[in-house]
Structure formats: C-alpha cells, structure tokens
Amino acid sequence: MLLRVENLSKAYPGPEGPVPVLRGVGLQLRAGETLALRGESGSGKSTLLHLVGGLDRADAGRIAIDGQDVTGLDDPGRAALRRGTVGVIFQQFNLIPSLNVRANIAFQARLAGRHDAARAARLADALGLTAQLDKYPEQLSGGQQQRVAIARTLAARPALVLADEPTGNLDEATAAAVMDQMLALVAETGAGLMMVTHSPDLAGRLGRQLHLRQGRLA
Amino acid sequence: MTRAGLSALWSFWRRNPLQLFTLVAGLALATALWSGVQALNAQARASYDAAAAVLGEGRYDQLIPAAGETVAQDSYLALRRAGWQVSPVLEGPLQARQARVRLVGIDPLTAPGGVGPMTRSEAATLPAFLSEGVVFAHPGIAEALAGTLSQRVVADPGLAPDTAITDIGVAQRLLGRDDLSRLILAEDQPIGRPDLSDVAPGLIRRASQQASDIGQLTDSFHLNLTAFGLLSFAVGIFIVHGAIGLAFEQRRAMIRTLRTLGLSLRRLMVLMGLELALIALVAGGIGVALGYVLAAGLLPDVAATLEGLYGAQVAGGLQLDPVWWLSGLGIALLGAVLAGAGAFWKIIRMPVLATGARAWAVATGRGRGCQGAAALALLGLAGLGTLLGGGLIAGFASLACLLLGAALALPLVLDRLLALGEAFARGVRTEWFLADTRQQLPGLSLALMALLLAMAANIGVSTMVSSFRMTFTGFLDQRLFAELYVEAEDTTQGAAVADFVQDRGATVLPIQWVDTHIAGQAAEVYGTRVAPAYVENWRFIAQDGTDSAVWDRVADGAAAIINEQLARRADLWPGDPLPLAADRTLPIAGVVGDYGNPIGQVVIGEGLFERLFPAAAPERFGLVTDTPAALRAALQDDLGLAAGQITDQAALKQFSLGVFERTFTVTAALNVLTLAVAGFAILMSLLTLAAMRVPQLAPAWALGLTRASLGRLEVLRALVLAALTGLVALPLGLALAWLLLAVINVEAFGWRLPMFLFPGDYAVLGGFALLAALLAALWPAWRLARTPPSELLKVFANDA
Ligand SMILES: Nc1ncnc2c1ncn2[C@@H]1O[C@H](COP(=O)(O)OP(=O)(O)O)[C@@H](O)[C@H]1O
Ligand SMILES: [Mg+2]
C-alpha cells in the first residue's frame, strides 16, 4: 500500500476555541492508483493534502507512506519526505522567485538526486514552456507559473503526487495536457496521484473519487 | 486640513514604531559619533594646552622676564587692560616632606586654547573652586603634598613627575609671592593693541619653538580624526536615508489621499519637512548627549583633569557649550536633509492619480541602472582629483567622491561576485543560496553600504592612527631624547650653562644652527656635537653604512645628514654630494624622517660647523642627565635661570604620548561603535525584509528544506555579504588612509606621513564586522526558523 491514512483529525485555533476541520479521515491509495478529492470550499481538502505531504502535523491519527509511519517524523524527517517521496503542487505561488524556469523545473529533482536533463526538457516541451526556460517567475503569467510547478514535480518523479487544484487557472486545452502528463507519469513510474479538483471532467479521468464533507470522507 | 494632515502623518509612525525608532536611532547614533569625535578632539587639545601651560612650552608664544627677574603683577594687569590676551603663570619650588615639588599656578579663566565642550565654570561654581583650592599633583608626590597642604590634593598621572598644578591665587599664597614667572600669549590677539614695549617694557617675547613640531603633528592628527568623525556620521546617515526612503514609500497611498482631499503639495511638503525637522532635533539632542557621555566615558582621566582644572562638571549635570549643542543639532538637521532629499524629490514628482506601483518600481529600476554610471563617474572624479591635486578642498572632495562612488558601486560589485559564484557553484542548494542572496541585495544594499563605509573608515583610520603612532613615537624619541632643554639669553650665559652642567656630570649637547639656502631650498644647517645618544635614537630612512659609521663620518666633518623634506625636494640621497657653501660640498651619509617641520635641515659635525660659520654660537642646549629635576632646580637656584628658560622635554614627551595613547584607545572604541552602527543598519534592514521573506522561502521549504536550515542560511547569507563587503572595504580603506596621509596631510601641512600596513588589525576588524553581521542576522533568522508551518502554507492558499 502506497498511502494509508487512518482516523486523521486536525483542528485550527479559532476565536472560540479549536475549530475541527478533519474528523477521523481514513483512505488508502495503491501505487499506480489515481484519486480525485472533491468537496466544498473550506471543507479541508488542502488541509488533508498538507498533512499527507508532510507539510503540517495532524492532531490525531496515522499516515503511512510505503508502509512507513510518517506521523511522528521530526522536522528533518518531514523535509526528507518532501524532498524524496512526495511531490506537492499547490494552488499558486509555487515557484522559487530567485531561480529561472529551467532551474525551477530541475530544483526538486536535483534535491532528490534524480535529475535527468532530457526528461526535464521533454516535460517543458510537453507543457509548452520551452520558450520560457530563461525567464524568471515574475515574468510569467499565472498559468505559465502553474505549468512550471507541475513540470517540476513530474521531473522529480515522486512516488506520491499531491496536487491541489493544479489546473484552476489553466484553460481547458492546457488543463487536459497537464492531465495527460500526470497520468503518463503514473503509468510510467507507478506513482500514486491524489488530486483536488472541482472539474467533473478531470475528476472523471481519475480512477476513484472521494468527497470530503464536514470533516469526513464519503 | 493642516491638522488632519499632521495627524495622518503622525499616525504612520504610531503604527510603525520600529521605523520611527530606526530613524531616530540612526540620526542619534550618527550625531553621537560626530560629536563624540569632536569632544575627543577638543579634550585632547585642552590637555595639550594644560600641558603647555604646566611645562612652560607649547604652541604659544610667551613673555618672559630678563634673567633673575620676575614679572610684576602690575605688568600683567597693564597688558590685560591694554587688550593683550595673556595668561599668567607662576612657578616655584615647594618643599613637601622630603619631596621637592615644582608648583605651577595657572589662571583657568584666561588660559588660552579654550576647553572645547567643557565650558569654563559658571561664575557661581568658580569661587567655590578658588576658595576650596584644589591642587593636582603627579601621583608620586600627591601623598606628600596632601600631608603638608590644607588644600584638597588630587593625584593626576597626566602631570609631569614632581609637578603640581593649581589656581594661580592658591599658588601665590602657597609660595608666599605676589609676582608672576611668565605670561602665555594667546594665539589670536586683538588688532590695534599698543606695542608690547610700551605697555610692559622689560618683558621678552619668546616664540614657541621645539613644540611647534609636536603642534603640527597633533594638528594633523586632529584633522584626520575630524575626517573620521565625518565618515562615522556618513555611516549613520545611510541608515537614516534607508529609513526615510522606506517610510515615504510606504506612505505613498496616504500622501495621495491627502492630496486628492485637497492638501496642496506645498503645504504637504512643509508639513513633512517640519515632521522631519522635529524628528531630527529630537534625535540630534539625544545624539549630542550620547556623544558627550561617550567622550567623557572614554576619556575619564582627561575629563577628570579638566573637571578639576576648569570646574566643568562631567557626570550628572553636564555643562555643555551652547555652540557644541547647536553644532550637534545642526549636523543632525543637515544629515536629515541630506538623507531625506531624495525621498522628497520622489514625492514632488509623484503624480496624484497614477495608481501603478509598477510605474514606481520601473522608475526605481531605472534609477538602479544609473547607479553604475554615477559610481563610475564619482570614482573617476576621485582619481582625477587626486592626480591633479590642488589644495585641501580638492583632497576632501576626492575623498568624498571615492567613498560615495565606492558605496554606489557596492551592490553592483556584490551582484557580479555572487553571479560569478553561481557560475562555479556545484550543488542545487548552493546555487539557490547564491541566487537568493543576489535577490536580497537591493533590500540590503543601504545597510551594506553603511557597513562598507564603516569598515573602510575603520581600516583607514586604524592605518592612519597606527602609522601616526609609529611615526610620532619614533620621531619624538629621535628628536627629544635629552631630558632638559635650556635656552640661554645670550652666548655668555650659554657658555656658563655649558660649563655648569658639564661639572655636574651631565652631557651637554649644544644646539646651534644657521638659516641658509641649499640646492635652492630654504634650510637650516645644524652643528651637532655627536654623542652616543644620537646614534641610539636617530633612525634613518636611507643611509650609507651603519648607524655608527654615518655618525662617525659626521663627527669627522666628512659627511652630512639631511632631512626627508630636503632630500625629496632637492632629490638628494645618500652618496650624493651636498653643496653646503660656495666652495664646500659634503657627501650625504643619511636621510632622516622629520615630521612636523616644513623646511629642510642639514646636520654636520660641530667642528666643521664652527669653521664654516664662525659667527654662530649656541644659545640652546640639550641636557642628557639622570636627575633632571635636581639639575633643573640647580640651574634655577645656583645659576639664576628663569623657570621659563628650561623645558622639561622628557616630561612633555611623556605627556604627549600619554594623550596620544588614550586617543588611540578611544579611536579603537569608536571603531567598534561605528561597526555596531552598521550592524544596527543590517538588523533593521533584515527586520524590514523579514515580512517579504516568508513568500520567497516557503516554496523552498515545501520542496524539502527544513526551517532550521533556512534560518542557518539566512545567517550564512549575512556573513557572506559582510565578508564580501569586507573584501571591497579593504582596498577602499587603504585608499582612504593613503588619501589622508599622502594627499590631505600634504595639502594641510606640507609633509607626508609614511603609511604602514597592519594586516593583524585588519583581520581583527574583519572579525568584528562578521560578528556585527552575525548578531544582526541572528534574531531575524531565529524568528524565521520558528515560523509555524501554517504561516508558510498560507502563502500557497488561493484566498491569499
Ligand atoms: N492556518 C489556518 N488557521 C486557521 N484556520 C485555517 C487555516 N488553514 C485553513 N483553515 C481553515 O480550515 C478550513 C479548511 O481549509 P482548507 O483545507 O484550505 O479547505 P479547502 O482546501 O477544502 O478549501 C477552512 O475553514 C479554513 O478557513
Ligand atoms: Mg484548498
């Protein structure tokens, strides 16, 4: 089992005490499997992705990736997890502003020790970024930035891809191309993919769909 | 409207106390450094003057009586009434137990050479001082005096051995006299006063002589220190400039609102000008007080001496010269104007309606493009100014161009260096670190410029000061090795003195010279009785043979020694023939450094001198003795020499060196302080940037760097930038020192100080700079490392 989440809970501090966001979420994902995560805005989709991606700590419950319990990892352990095992694509502001597109695409792969220049070039081409390679993030449109972030994650070939509305600000054709690339990676490396999306079309291309409602999965 | 505008402007500071603090602290520190150096200068000068008065030698001319006589109190009063600026001195022997004390009475109210920041005491405290009658004594005799006198005795290591000093009235009572020993003439005398011979016939005017050398050296030293004060001030102004620029930029929206609400641009400018002036006055006041505390704290013994002598209160109720206060406030205002001019200009040019932060940024970017050109132009000007020369003003202008040009060039140089590092970097983290550091440069550049100036000033000043110390010490040892110097009234008395002293086992070194021209240069030819002391003490900068061989040939009349000025001007060096007279040339055996003396000197043997210039006869003598105090007493008691005829040169030298040493210590402290100011600038910049850092760093964190390592990298970044800045500062500082020693000093005084390099000092300085950067970066980095993940994750949320 690539990912096993059991009984996960998370609350954020509010003005009148803690506000629970996730209340005992459980799910499983096998290698090569794809999963669409849906739910209303504010239902806790991003929160769940952050917890699985080793970006924040859960209040209770257990997350195991590749059989290893990651819930109790310390800061360096989580950092290693983010470097080597999971790849997170955020809704926005993903890029390192001081590096150009080429360096941004290579960044995570180099951190993980899996850099392959030919593969990075191929991804840039497939996502229509070849002309932007020497530009800096501030010189790109929001959609271009998002494609760079996706290329970066795919170039690093993580075992688990976590994508948070990655196609939110892309047009339909580009969104479809992005989807192709993600599914190609899954097919090629057997990675697992968990993606938050509002689009029924995109969700339909993934193997399973889960709904997050009132802190629980349905 | 005005009131609404004012309260709107003020509310900004209320909401941004950190920025207000930066502004006030920057201005206050700049003013403090400036006025601290001023106070230091003034206090050191006052100490020289006190020494001059005590030791009967100094920068001032004196009026002395004929041999065996004294100055009547009436002559003094007549001179004062006639408008002569004279100050009385009485000295005489006083027996205190076994010790024979030389008691010197001076008049603090008329002593020349003002006491700088310490005003003379208020009328109310002066009588107390006079009636209480404090006596300051060398520590060696203080106890004995305290047991003998009813007056309060204060030990003062700044005084010469066996010497005590007090108010002239007290001295007259203690010595049981109503006359005076000599009168000191102030440098500036009113015009149109009657002739000296009419008012006080019988008094002889004696020009300051030996000490003029020291006088020039100290003047040069103080000039250099003043330059340092200005530099320190400039470092502070960089902080202020940054703070004002930031505040004005952040208030753009408010300013636009105020203007659309109908506040005219002119009224707005006036309001903001007033606001800045108010802040500058407050900061200037704090700065002046800080500077005073600084100077008093760093020079406690000098302050104590002055406090006692002049009744100025040092601790508690400060008594500050209003001129000093005002100049401190003035410089704070000037600094604020300098630092704020750019910001005001931007506001004036800002269109009322333009909404674009973009346009603003583009304009700023274009400004950065011009920066390189401006830096090059300034550096070129500095080079031209130095090459073409032309006066003290040109020297200082070159200095300013050099520093400003270097400061402007710094961000560009750092950017290139980091880009170079990027090209050679292996490893993704290093590449990212360097790229990220480059991205931080614009935000940090003002602080780094401040650090550059601070370090360059420190390198420059420590080089200058240390070069000075080596030169000064060596020069004093060389020139003033005799314990006493005696000035005879005429050749008969001179011969008597020589015989008298020789009988008592001391070595007599006659000092005789003629003024002449040699190789087209004005020069003095000295006839010297070669003694072992010369061989031991004189140091040549170029020579033909060993020290003793040189002196042997001089003693034989077979060679001459010349000073550096003559050697350089006439291009004469060891081995060259020196045209001494129409029919006489001598080979040059050695060249000596001779600082503080504008004209050429030639030293030949006594025998040859007497043959060449039979008319000259010695009237001055150096006396080498183991018992200077006893010999001095004997000369006065047995031979009837006036006290003013004998100079205790050794004591003067010791005192001068003491003051110098203290000044050196203080410069070191000021150096550290200037660096601290630069460190403060870095801290403030980092804190300002901190809010911008989170979005820049969050992606790197999400991709697998820990917060702790991000924090470490922030510290490392500050260290790398400080180190690179230090790399630029080293040549700049050396150029600065060179300009001070070899250009400005030459323009101001006509001679050039040799420049020594002190790599050890520079290394220590670099260490301090790194420490300052480290301390400045520590807190912001620690805060960053403790940023909660949810803060970092907010960056990626789409509702941001
Ligand atoms: N750092 C935080 N502090 C407090 N509340 C938060 C924080 N992050 C998210 N929340 C709240 O938690 C809930 C779930 O947020 P999120 O996971 O972003 O939802 P989704 O991604 O499904 O829109 C929302 O109500 C949000 O306001
Ligand atoms: Mg979300």
Question: For the segment B237-252, what is each residue's pLDDT rounded down to a tens digit?
Answer: 777 777 787 777 778 7
The structure tokens 């003439």 sit at B185
pLDDT at B57 over 60: no
Q: Do A82 and B435 touch (CB under 8 A)?
A: no
Tell me the average pLDDT across B429-450: 89
Coil/strand/helix, residue B736: helix
Q: Do B796 and A96 touch (CB under 8 A)?
A: no
Helix (H) or strand (E) holding B577: strand B577-581
Percent of residues, chain B, with pLDDT higher than 70: 81
Among B404, B233, B308, smallest CA distance to B47 is for: B308
pLDDT at B455 over 70: yes
Q: Are the CB atoms for B449 and B732 separated by under 8 Å? A: no
Q: Which of A82, A98, A168 sits opposite B703 (nearest CB)?
A: A82
Strands A160-164 and A86-89: what pairing? parallel
Among B229, B315, B327, B246, smallest CA distance to B284 is for: B327
For B605, phi then psi, to 5°, come to -70, 155
In the sheet where A60-65 sits, what is the strand order? A17-29, A3-14, A60-65, A68-69
pLDDT-derived band at B223, boundaries 50, 70, 90: confident
Question: For the segment A48-106, what is each residue's pLDDT rounded down to a tens digit?
Answer: 999 999 999 999 999 999 989 999 899 999 999 999 899 999 988 789 999 999 999 99
pLDDT of residue A91: 85
Name the more confident of B146 and B552. Answer: B552
Chain CA centroid to CA A64, Å: 16
pLDDT of residue B625: 85
Ligand 1 atom 21 nearest Cα: A46
Nearest chain B residue to A100, by CA: B435
pLDDT at B124 over 60: no
Q: CA Rg, chain A, in Å?
A: 17
Name the more confident of B110 and B301. Answer: B110
Ligand 1 atom nearest to CA at A41: 23
Tell me the average pLDDT across A177-192: 88
The conformation of residue B116, written as its DSSP 8-state character, comes to T
pLDDT-derived band at A46, boundaries 50, 70, 90: very high
pLDDT of residue B342: 77
Coil/strand/helix, residue B527: strand
pLDDT of residue B115: 28
A110 touches chain B (CB under 8 A): yes
User: Which residue among A25, A46, A198 has the greatest number of ligand 1 atoms within 8 angstroms of its CB, and so is best to mutate?
Assistant: A46
In the sheet where A160-164 sits, what is the strand order? A86-89, A160-164, A192-196, A34-39, A208-213, A216-217
Whether the predicted model's global pTM rises above the 0.80 cut = no
pLDDT at B305 over 60: no
Percent of residues, chain A, with pLDDT higher than 70: 100
* Contacts of residue B598, Cβ cutoff 8 Å, sequence gap at least 6: B565, B749, B750, B751
* Contacts of residue B377, Cβ cutoff 8 Å, sequence gap at least 6: B405
Q: Helical H runs in B541-599?
A: 547-555, 564-570
Question: For the segment B355-401, what is each residue's pLDDT rounded down to a tens digit?
Answer: 444 444 444 556 667 888 888 899 998 888 887 777 778 888 888 88
pLDDT of residue B182: 83
Q: Do A93 and B796 touch (CB under 8 A)?
A: yes
Count of other CB atoms within 10 angstroms of residue B70? 19
Distances B619 to A162, B398, B495, B645 between C-alpha atoms, Å: 101, 46, 8, 11
Q: Which range, of A158-167, B78-87, B476-485, averages the lowest pLDDT?
A: B476-485
Q: Do A82 and B438 touch (CB under 8 A)?
A: no
Considering Cα of B333, then B335, then B338, then B344, what sign does the dihedral take? negative
Tell me the average pLDDT across B473-483: 75
**Token digits for B499?**
């015989």
pLDDT of residue B350: 66
Question: For the segment B549-572, what is each residue's pLDDT rounded down to a tens digit?
Answer: 999 999 999 999 998 878 877 888
pLDDT of residue B214: 55
Count of other CB atoms within 10 angstroms of residue B760? 8
Please tell me the CATH superfamily of domain A34-55+73-211, with its number: P-loop containing nucleotide triphosphate hydrolases (3.40.50.300)
pLDDT-derived band at B745, boundaries 50, 70, 90: confident
Q: Do A98 and B704 touch (CB under 8 A)?
A: no
Name the more confident of B588 and B291. Answer: B588
pLDDT of residue A61: 93
CA A50 / ligand 1 centre spacing (Å): 11
pLDDT of residue B315: 32
Structural domain boundaries in chain A? 34-55+73-211
pLDDT-derived band at B494, boundaries 50, 70, 90: confident
pLDDT-derived band at B318, boundaries 50, 70, 90: very low
Contacts of A76 in chain B (CB under 8 A): 706, 708
Average pLDDT, chain B: 79
Considering Cα of B71, then B76, then B82, then B83, what sign does the dihedral take? positive
Contacts of B798 in chain A (CB under 8 A): 91-92, 165, 168
Q: Are the CB atoms for B183 and B89 separated by under 8 Å? A: yes
Query: What is the distance between the alpha carbons of residues B41 and B29, in angstroms, rounded to a whole number?
Result: 18
Helix (H) or strand (E) holding B603: strand B600-605
pLDDT of residue B732: 94
What ipTM was assigned to the predicted interfaces of this complex? 0.94
pLDDT of residue B125: 40
> Which residues approach ligand 1 with their CB closer than 6 A?
A 12, 21, 39, 41-47; B 790
Tell me the average pLDDT across B778-791: 91
**Token digits for A136?**
């800096």
